[in-house]
Each structure stands twice: as C-alpha cells, then as structure tokens.
Structure 1
Amino acid sequence: MTSTYAVLPYDATAWPPELRRIARPEVLERWGAVDRSPHAPRLVAVAEGDGDGWSAAALVTARPGTAYGKIVDAVGDVPAAVDAVLSYADEQRLAQVKWEGWTVSAEDAAAAGFAPLRLPLTHGREEAADEPAGPGSGYVRWAAGEGIAEPPPYYRQSTHFTCGAVTALLARAQAGAVPRQALDREAELTLWRDATNFPACEPVGLGVAVRRRWPTASVEVFLDTDEPVLLDHLSGDEREWRAVLQRASRSDARRSGVPVDGRQLSLTGLREAIGRRRQHVLLLVSLATMQGFDVPHWVLCHGVVPGAVVVEDPWCNAAAGETWVDAHLLPVPDASLDAMSLLGAERVRGAVLIGPG
C-alpha cells in the first residue's frame, strides 16, 4: 500500500485547486449537495510525483462511533486514491472500507479487492420514493480477510417507528425462515402491528410477536428492569396506558414460553450468542453517538469481527450524506456498542435473541 498521502480537511465552500483539476464538476456538486459534517468528511490526497498538485484524491466519511471508512468517490488516479485510503484505514485499524458506486465500475472495484454489496430490497420501490435511492451499487473490503459469509439482505424501514419489526424480519430472512422477496412494506407493518407499544416496539412485546409469527424459533428476551421502558418522554395517561400494555406483554411471554431474563446482556454474551450459538440479536441502541439525537432504535447484530460487532441498521440519514452503503454490514466497536445500548437514566439494555428454528 502507498504511504505518500495526506489526510486533509473537507470544505465544500472552498475546494482546493488541486482537487478541482482532477475532479469532475458534477462529482464536486454531489459532494457539496448535503451537509456531511456529522460524518467527519476528509480528503485523502496523493501528491504528484514532482510534488506539484495532486494525482489522486478520495472523499472519505463514516458514522461516528463505528469502525469503517466510506469512499464516496475516488478521482484522478483512482487506484492510487483507493490505495491511499486503504493505507489510512489500516493505520486507523478500521474493520472495513466501503465504496459507494456513484462513479466506480464493478470491474475496477474488484481489481482493488472490493466485493459487491447486494442491492437493498427497497431500492427503487415506491414506498421509499420520499428518500434518495442512493448509489446503484456499493462495495466492501474487509480488513485481514474478515467478513460475513452469508449476510442478510438490506431493507430500509419505510416509517420512523418500524425498526424493531424490520430487524426481526431481516434476522428470519438470513436464517432462511422468510423468503427475501417477502420482505416488503406489508410484512413490515403487519409484524409491527403485532409488536408495537405505540409507536415503539419494546423488548418483551417484540419477543412475543416473533414467537407468534415463528412458533418453532427459539426466542429469549434480555431486559434488566421490571419497569416499563421507552416511555421517558411521556407522562400521565399517555405513559400509563402504554405501561399497561407492557405488563400485558409480560403475561403473554409467560403464557407463550418466551423467557425474559432480568440480567443485563453483556457484550461478551452478545458476541458469544452470535458467534458460537449462531443466534441473531435484536438490540436497542440510542442514536446519540451515530446520528446526534438520543432516540431509541433497534438494530440487528448478526456478525462478529475482531473488536467489532456487525449490525444492520434499517435507517440511514440522507441529510448527512448517508446511503444504504453506510447502514448495511456496519461494524461497531465493542466499546461503542456497549455504551450506545445502555438507555435512559437507569442505563437499561434491551435485547431479543432469536435462534434457529
């Protein structure tokens, strides 16, 4: 890998003249069309052999609290730019580098050691038409030969509140219990309707809904509190009737044989469940670190690599330049995932483990 590169600040209001000489205007226009500042944008540049100008450059971004870097585009001498990004990623000990397919061909990506990502199931569908579709392709290169042999499909939730249902459907699709083509808005909303605490899905209710939908699957809930959860923003009657429903979910769990473990699931236990026991873990996290707002959100934990857990996030923030490439096969360092999955003042962790069946 090359070592003659520089990592420079990104400023869409003042492109360096060296960049303007090698990047097409439409590429720079797309780079500056959104506020990428929440995702630490930086330019990785390779100098000309004589030191006069740049031979190559790449725009690299990533969600905070994660273990990847994303090439939005590489310009100029593309192989040299990508080589520089890979060197940078290696120095930063990142688990992977992704590459959005705005301008790169599948052949060039493969030549650089990147594997293609499967297109999202919602790509181009009518229900997702209110959000940018993102690039028509994406690629990933894992560090040290790591990776996920049979990744789940990517499906973007079609509402602001159906993340729990989507993560459960993705887990069952990866397990072969749901055909990938059956993951659509009807399936998403139907499962959400069975699991919701209006509008969120709390852990026990979600676990019970999974058991109802797939009776032969093993389901276990971890929730280290007996109190209602996800209700901190509510008070009075609005809080009370949802608390009644959560107590009803506990009764449903006892009747249907879904165990609710009152211990806090550790990160060691989570990694073991995924790696050795081949379980899927639906995990509640706060989006404060990754997106800047403290909202509870379900993600699917389905793979482990050294130092990080690989998740599917069914939501991405297009306003910050995110696309499905960011949210699919997303590596989150153990320490980050540990912190972001402790919710509320009581630092409670909620998870639903789904085993084979």
Structure 2
Amino acid sequence: MPPQQETPVKSVVVPFEPDTSPALLRRLGHHEVPERRHTVDRSAHAPHIVAVPGDDGEDWAAAALVTARPQTAYLKIVDAVGDVPAAVEAVVAHARRRGLVQVKWEGWNASPEVAAAAGFVPLRPPITPVEEGAGPETGYVRWLRDGAGAEPPYYGQTTHFTCGAVTALVAQAHAGTLPREALDRRAELTLWRDATNFPACEPVGLGVAVRRAWPSSPVTVHLDADRPVLLDHYPENEQEWRALLQRTSRTEAGRAGVPIDPHHLSLTAIRSAIGRREHVLLLVSLAGMQGFDVPHWVLCHGAVPGAVVIEDPWSNAAAGDTWVDAHLLPVPDPSLDTMSTISADRFRGAVAIGRPPGGASSAEPADE
C-alpha cells in the first residue's frame, strides 16, 4: 500500500492590525487573547494571524500570532491560543509554503511537552538575563531543512557598541576554545576595549584583538577597502584621529601576523569557511532587518540550503524582537549579500577565525 499522506490543517492567514484584529480575534470565542499582542508595535516585522477555522466554519478553533524580521528565512510564533497543536501545525505548513527554513516559538505559554510533540526542540536560554517584558525565558525551534550544525550559546550584548567583541567571544565558545562560563560582561568589555575604534570595532582592529586574545587561533581579516572605514558620519575633526587608530591597527596586524585579504569576500567563501568549521564575524547594516542603517557585527556559524545561520547579539524589544529572533537566525544568501555591503563605497568587512592547530576540532554539542 502507498504511504499515508498527512492531511494538511486548513488555515487562514490575515494581517495583524491593532485597530482591526481584536474584532477578528473575537472569533476565538471563549479563548483569551494574550495582552502581549498589543503591548508593542510589531508592524516592522509583518505581524499576521494564522488561524484554524472551527467545524462550523464561522468561529476559529485556534490562532497564532506570527512575526519575523524582514529579509530572513524563518517565522516566529509569538503565542498560540485555542487548539494550540493545530495552530502550530498550520504555522509550519504556512512556512513550508513560503519556502522558509525554520519556525521558532517563543515560550510565553508553550510547554516543553507540547513543543516536543509538534517537532520543536528547546533553544539554549540566553546567558545574559532577559529584562522583564523584553522576551521570554524560553524558546523553541523547528528546522525545516537539515544542516544547521551545533547550537552556539546566546549572549546578548550589554552595551550599544560591543557587538564585535560579543560575536568573537561567542565564536570561540562555540568552537570550544573559550569556556562557556567565561562569557560574561568582563570578557565582553575587555575584548571591546582592545578592539575599539571608539566606539565601534572596525575589521582590522577586531582581527588584531582576536589574535591577541587567542594567539593559537588562525585569524584573517577580509576588507576590500584600502582606507579607514565606518567614519563617514563623524565630523572631519573626529574622523582624523579615528583614521590614525585604524592605520595603527594595520601596522599591528602586520606585526602580529594577521593577514588582510583585500578581495571581496563572497557568500560562497563564507559558506566554505563554515563548512570547514570556521567562524566568520561579518559586518552588516541593520537597515534591512531593523529599518535603520547602523553598522553591526553578526556571527556566521551555520548554513542550510538557501540560508546562512547567524547569531545577532542585539534585538529590538520595541518592535517585539527578542533573543528568540536573534538566536540561530537564518538569512537568505541574497539578503546577507545585500546587508553586508556597507556604505556608499560598498565595501565588505569580516574577520574569519579558524580552528587552532591540534585544538578543538568541532563545535560543542548542542545538548551540553
């Protein structure tokens, strides 16, 4: 006999709009709609409702609030009410129809048992404390494509300017070069202080700081610009001394044996590095994902068909964006290519960290 095919859950998808959605959600009857759906402005993350009609075709048996960062390849279930398993199944089917690679589920009201039954696995809780109301204590993920690799720890930067240092620390913890318990604010600020161009970390300075911190780790800086970078928004007198610091970083790179590759780093090369179990700290603009053109460091550590998996050490709580969004975040190759082409000069900056000779040979297991 041929294998039985699962009958897909019938669902409807409607935009979530604070002014009109309460009337739609009354179709859930006696099911209470969580207040969190109205406490932040999620409009930048395309909020929508995936609902499962009831037997009568009039009321809804279940509904999930779903969002996602723009230019990414996942959906996030903020919460689900009513027949929760049916709502989650409908969201997964919705993600598959859109060709996405992942569904996440914030743990506001999701129990581990229900999540596991729906094919989700728990995410590692963040190392940095979650501020009250800024995100759930727990989260879950279900991959729709294979190959993402081992899960790194999630550490949210504790300042507005330490993203570069955090990505380097998380990379080394993921590689097994740095003990997970050493990921703390002291380490974050110490590495930032060694790498900073006040307040940002530019690629060469970050690469030199990584080599100083871990002399046995192979480090290559990729920067297809032969001038100081990330300075255009400063007044001329502020640019001058920062440019001097960047030139000093290049001198120090030569002394420390850190190569600076002047060629454009392609997405194919990033995927190849990941395939060799290397880590790529990549400079991106947040314009695509968050709506403001600010340079920002992310960590590329995994890849699935069609998307590179990154760690983003920052999330935008004002938009309902939490660590669940920023952790194990799949970004389609074309989107990552666009967001990592920086400024009017269209340069790309990255720091690739290889495995130490004779050191840890693979990322730490996800269940440790």
Is the TM-score greater than 0.5?
yes
Is the contact made by 1:2 and 1:80 (CA closer than 8 Å) also made in structure 2? no
1:10 and 1:243 map into 2 onto residues whose CA distance is: 47
Is the contact made by 1:119 and 1:137 (CA closer than 8 Å) also made in structure 2? yes
Q: Matched residue of 1:271: which SS?
A: helix
Alignment correspondent of 1:89: 95
Seen in structure 2, the aligned counterparts of structure 1 residues 182 and 52 have a Cα distance that, compared at 3 Å, is same
Alignment correspondent of 2:311: 312
Is the contact made by 2:62 and 2:83 (CA closer than 8 Å) also made in structure 1? yes
Is the contact made by 1:153 and 1:174 (CA closer than 8 Å) also made in structure 2? yes
Q: Matched residue of 2:308: which SS?
A: strand
TM-score, L = length of structure 1? 0.95
Q: Matched residue of 2:321: which SS?
A: coil
Displacement of 1:19: 4.4
Alignment correspondent of 2:362: none
2:259 and 2:96 map into 1 onto residues whose CA distance is: 42
Displacement of 1:182: 1.0
Aligned match for 1:113, one of 88, 95, 119 = 119
Amino acid aligned to 1:136? E
Alignment correspondent of 1:68: 74
1:22 and 1:109 map into 2 onto residues whose CA distance is: 23
How many residues end up aligned between the 2 structures?
348
Alignment correspondent of 1:31: 37
Aligned match for 2:29, one of 21, 29, 42 = 21
1:84 and 1:213 map into 2 onto residues whose CA distance is: 47
TM-score, L = length of structure 2? 0.92
Is the contact made by 1:286 and 1:340 (CA closer than 8 Å) also made in structure 2? yes
Is the contact made by 2:27 and 2:58 (CA closer than 8 Å) also made in structure 1? no
Is the contact made by 1:22 and 1:75 (CA closer than 8 Å) also made in structure 2? no
Is the contact made by 2:149 and 2:302 (CA closer than 8 Å) also made in structure 1? no
Q: What CA deviation, in whole Å up to 9, does each residue of 1:227-246 have, x standing for no partner?
A: 10000101322000000000
Amino acid aligned to 1:311? I
Q: What CA deviation, in whole Å up to 9, does each residue of 1:145-179 have, x standing for no partner?
A: x2534211000000000000000000000011111
Map 1:105-184; keep pairs closer than 5 Å.
105-124=111-130, 129=131, 132-144=133-145, 146-184=146-184
Q: Matched residue of 1:253: which SS?
A: helix
Is the contact made by 1:270 and 1:281 (CA closer than 8 Å) also made in structure 2? yes
Map 1:1-357; keep pairs closer than 5 Å.
2-14=8-20, 15=22, 16-25=24-33, 27=34, 29-124=35-130, 129=131, 132-144=133-145, 146-275=146-275, 277-357=276-356
Is the contact made by 1:22 and 1:55 (CA closer than 8 Å) also made in structure 2? no
Higher deviation after alignment, 1-10 or 201-210: 1-10
Q: What CA deviation, in whole Å up to 9, does each residue of 1:263-317 have, x standing for no partner?
A: 0100001111111x21100000000000000000000000000000000000000
Is the contact made by 1:274 and 1:304 (CA closer than 8 Å) also made in structure 2? yes
Amino acid aligned to 2:239? R
Displacement of 1:13: 2.7
- Structure 2 gaps of 5+ residues are 1-6, 357-368
- Runs (4 or more) in structure 1 with deviation over 3 Å come to 17-20
Seen in structure 2, the aligned counterparts of structure 1 residues 149 and 278 have a Cα distance that, compared at 3 Å, is closer
User: C-alpha root-mean-square deviation of aligned residues, in Å?
Assistant: 1.2
Displacement of 1:18: 3.6
Displacement of 1:3: 4.3
Is the contact made by 1:123 and 1:133 (CA closer than 8 Å) also made in structure 2? no
Give me the identity figure in percent. 66
Displacement of 1:123: 2.4
Q: Matched residue of 1:193: which SS?
A: helix
Seen in structure 2, the aligned counterparts of structure 1 residues 123 and 189 have a Cα distance that, compared at 3 Å, is same
Is the contact made by 2:28 and 2:61 (CA closer than 8 Å) also made in structure 1? no
Q: Matched residue of 2:239: which SS?
A: helix
Q: What CA deviation, in whole Å up to 9, does each residue of 1:98-121 have, x standing for no partner?
A: 000000100000000000000000
1:181 and 1:278 map into 2 onto residues whose CA distance is: 22
1:324 and 1:337 map into 2 onto residues whose CA distance is: 19
Amino acid aligned to 1:287? L
